Amino acid sequence: MKIILIGLMGAGKTTIGKELSMELGFRLVDMDMEIEKEANMSIVDIFEKYGEAEFRKKELNLLKKLIKEDNIIISTGGGIIKEKTNCELLKNQKHVIFLDGNVNTLLRNVSNGINERPLLKNTKDLKIKLQNLLNERYDKYKECAKIQIDINGKNIDEVVSQILVYIR
């Protein structure tokens, strides 16, 4: 089985992925961390030195590779749905889960990770930025996912339980 978590920055993809990985005993791959490891460079540096397009290429190549694996939880980066090919790959998978949070939930969760996120770094109004990204991407998350989980007002355990019920 393969579980793929998608959603905007601050939706809790990494944290929920860790919990799922412990519950199910599957390997967790956090795509951002894997890209950083492979490039031996932070995401911020990759964006600054090579640009977003290069990052998206790395993201696509990694997804292509990971999608062949089994018994894995894949925690994607928030922009995974920007590439059409990624969307096609995701649509062919059984357990793609969209962690759906409103802007207040996302804002609360990203607050202490702004400097590690190139798209939020140096942003004057974080709430507006997140709202714009959500507006731009919302339909794509829905389109690529098999199930959408409302994360607003829920703690991690509640979201994880919901996912476990869904996959079992």
Distances (CA, A) of 138 to 18, 22, 141: 24, 29, 5
3-state secondary structure of 115: helix
Q: Which residues bind ligand S3P (CB under 6 A)?
A: 9, 13, 32, 43, 77-79, 117-119
Q: Which of 71, 156, 164 is nearest to 109 (CA)?
A: 156
Nearest approach, Cβ of residue 9 and ligand S3P (Å): 4
Q: Give 35 or 163: the residue with its C-beta nearer to ligand S3P.
A: 35
Q: Give 32 or 100: the residue with its C-beta nearer to ligand S3P.
A: 32
Beta pairing partners, 29: 74
Q: Give 19 or 32: the residue with its C-beta nearer to ligand S3P.
A: 32
Q: Residue 114 contacts by C-beta under 8 Å, 6 or more apart in sequence?
A: 120, 121, 123, 126
Nearest approach, Cβ of residue 43 and ligand S3P (Å): 5
Cα separation, 100 vs 65, in Å, equals 26
Nearest approach, Cβ of residue 22 and ligand S3P (Å): 19
Judge contact between 11 and 99, C-beta under 8 A: yes
Nearest approach, Cβ of residue 137 and ligand S3P (Å): 8
Q: Give 26 or 55: the residue with its C-beta nearer to ligand S3P.
A: 55
